[in-house]
């Protein structure tokens, strides 16, 4: 990673760490945490009131996204969902409710402060089918072919290596799996310099891809059925957009077929869950969390 990329990633980490600390400290005030809002184009106001009202106040306050990916991902009972850049956990908690007790919602974030906040929010919500993992969206700590749906809320634009993000998203999805994300996308006529003039990198503007670039990256990673639909303007020539794409089925595989990664026996796996040690290991036992399974089985890769 170049020095510039390292600096940008650290700037992003610091911004979201500060947001998590603000929410956590605000939770001890008499009136609860104040939302970390930027303007009406970002934040918790993009969720329906009935969704916000069912979640811990801290999860709602920490929302910094540009959309509501759970509303467009068409989640189904029993599915496994991964949220890239899960922050305070609002989309993970909403996803967990949609997939039900037979499903699982994973949240991935690189910021310790956000992960701590998300874990506290999950405990307050009484969510038992969620798992929060520390890592980057360019190197997802999950085996290949184990996720049904990947969601994300205004995070991919913050990555300094977007081809790696799309490659990792494709890798962890099972054949027939899909992605449904909210992200900031620029008009094709805007140069990188013009995007930077409209907002900074950590503000989700300067790092945004154009519509054509987004589509090209997704197709290069192997995705099909790419749809990019703008929803509202966040800056001149910049839009919040819903992005959908599908990982095609393997040749000769019927739609809805269960992949080996999902149907494997528990005795064939190191940890007993899909999020375990290496992509070569199989998985079962979704009732256990990753941490519980690794501890119980003595898995060698507990870090």
Least confident of 44-58, 79-93, 151-165: 44-58
- pLDDT of 254: 59
Look at the alpha carbons of 187, 193, 194, 196 in this order and tell me if their dihedral is positive or negative. Answer: positive
**How buried is residue 237: exposed, middle or buried, by Cβ count under 10 Å (0-12/13-18/19+)?**
middle
CB 290 within 8 A of CB 272: no
- pLDDT of 190: 94
| pLDDT, averaged across the chain | 75
Residue 65 has pLDDT above 60, yes or no: no
Torsion angle of C-alpha atoms 162, 167, 168, 173, degrees rounded to 10 = 130
Q: Phi then psi for 293, rounded to 5 degrees?
A: -65, -40
CB 86 within 8 A of CB 108: yes
Please state, in angstroms and rounded to a whole number, the distance separating the CA atoms of residues 193 and 190.
Answer: 8
Residue 129 has pLDDT above 70, yes or no: yes
H-type alpha helices, 62-183: 90-99, 112-125, 162-172
- pLDDT of 299: 47
What is the mean predicted confidence (pLDDT) over 177-192? 94
pTM of the complete model: 0.73
Residue 288 has pLDDT above 70, yes or no: no
- pLDDT of 236: 93
- pLDDT of 284: 45
Name the residue among 64, 78, 61 with its Cα closest to residue 121: 61
CB 238 within 8 A of CB 187: yes
Name the residue among 149, 115, 136, 138 with its Cα closest to residue 291: 115
- pLDDT of 163: 95
């Amino acid at each position: 990673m170049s020095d510039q990329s390292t600096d940008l990633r650290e700037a992003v980490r610091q911004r979201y760490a500060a947001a998590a600390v603000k929410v956590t400290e605000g939770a001890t005030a008499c009136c609860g945490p104040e939302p970390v809002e930027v303007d009406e184009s970002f934040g918790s106001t993009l969720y329906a009131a009935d969704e916000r009202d069912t979640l811990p106040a801290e999860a709602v306050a920490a929302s910094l996204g540009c959309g509501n990916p759970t509303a467009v991902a068409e989640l189904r009972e029993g599915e496994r969902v991964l949220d890239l850049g899960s922050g305070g956990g609002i989309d993970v908690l909403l996803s967990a409710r949609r997939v039900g007790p037979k499903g699982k919602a994973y949240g991935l974030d690189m910021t310790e402060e956000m992960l701590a906040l998300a874990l506290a929010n999950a405990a307050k919500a009484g969510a038992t089918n969620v798992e929060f993992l520390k890592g980057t969206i360019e190197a997802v700590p999950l085996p290949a072919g184990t996720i049904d749906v990947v969601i994300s809320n205004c995070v991919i634009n913050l990555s300094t290596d977007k081809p790696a993000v799309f490659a990792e998203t494709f890798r962890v999805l099972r054949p027939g799996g899909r992605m449904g994300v909210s992200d900031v996308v620029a008009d094709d006529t805007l140069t990188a310099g013009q995007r930077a003039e409209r907002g900074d990198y950590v503000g989700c503007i300067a790092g945004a891809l154009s519509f054509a670039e987004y589509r090209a990256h997704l197709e290069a990673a192997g995705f099909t059925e790419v749809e990019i639909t703008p929803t509202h303007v966040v800056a001149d020539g910049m839009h919040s957009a819903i992005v959908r794409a599908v990982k095609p089925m393997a040749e000769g595989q019927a739609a809805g077929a269960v992949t080996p990664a999902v149907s494997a026996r528990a005795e064939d796996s190191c940890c007993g869950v899909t999020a375990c040690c290496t992509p070569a290991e199989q998985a079962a036992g979704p009732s256990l969390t990753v941490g519980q399974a690794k501890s119980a089985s003595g898995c060698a890769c507990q870090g």
